Homo-oligomer: A and B are copies of this chain.
């Protein structure tokens, strides 16, 4: 399916970037729905260059540090536009290790259950706070009134991430509540 291909193509289409910049983007903005390590990005950039979907220009930064700034080609833009309109079946539900543990709840006693769920809750609440701060920052600095814009894209995926985390937290609290009230 080459999904990384389209993630990279989409980012470079927004503006020319280096492999390092892409890595940073995968850690920040896209972090709420996509991720890739630099060890996967550099080989993919090489491949996309060979396929003539992107090209690069070597730029010297400072005295001798070489950067490869990648730009999307017309062919790349066409493939990207073609991919974005495709209608694909729903992906299989993503894996969730915490839910795997929760599923086998019968292996824990009451205190252990409460400990595991509380720890997960704390982590998720922390993450939600980070996402909310990012949203505050976004609303302060960007204009999202135009629906056909990068800014609106940034906004909706961040909004989706916040809603997802909030729901996960609600679920954890509901579980904790039932367990706490149980007699066993």
Which residues of A come within 8 Å of B, CB atoms?
Answer: 3, 6-7, 10, 13-14, 29-35, 80-81, 84-85, 87-110, 112-113, 116, 119, 123-124, 127, 146-150, 152-154, 156-157, 159-161, 163-164, 166-168, 170-171, 174-175, 178-179, 182, 184
Contacts and interface: CB of A to CB of B under 8 A. Distances in A.
A6 B100 contact: yes
Given A85-B108, A108-B84, A164-B164, A103 B33 contact: yes
Nearest to A120: B90
A153 B106 contact: yes
A149 B81 CA distance: 50
A168 to B, nearest CB: 8
Contacts of A157: 99, 102-103
Contacts of A161: 93
Q: Which of A35, A163, A167 has the most CB of B within 10 A?
A: A167
B147 A93 contact: no
B148 A184 contact: yes
A90 B112 CA distance: 18
Contacts of A127: 90
A42 B6 CA distance: 33
A10 B32 CA distance: 29
A95 B35 contact: yes
A121 to B, nearest CB: 11
A164 B96 CA distance: 12
Contact of A103 (B153, B166, B170): B153
Contacts of A153: 102-106
Given A10-B104, A106-B150, A159-B171, A94 B94 contact: yes
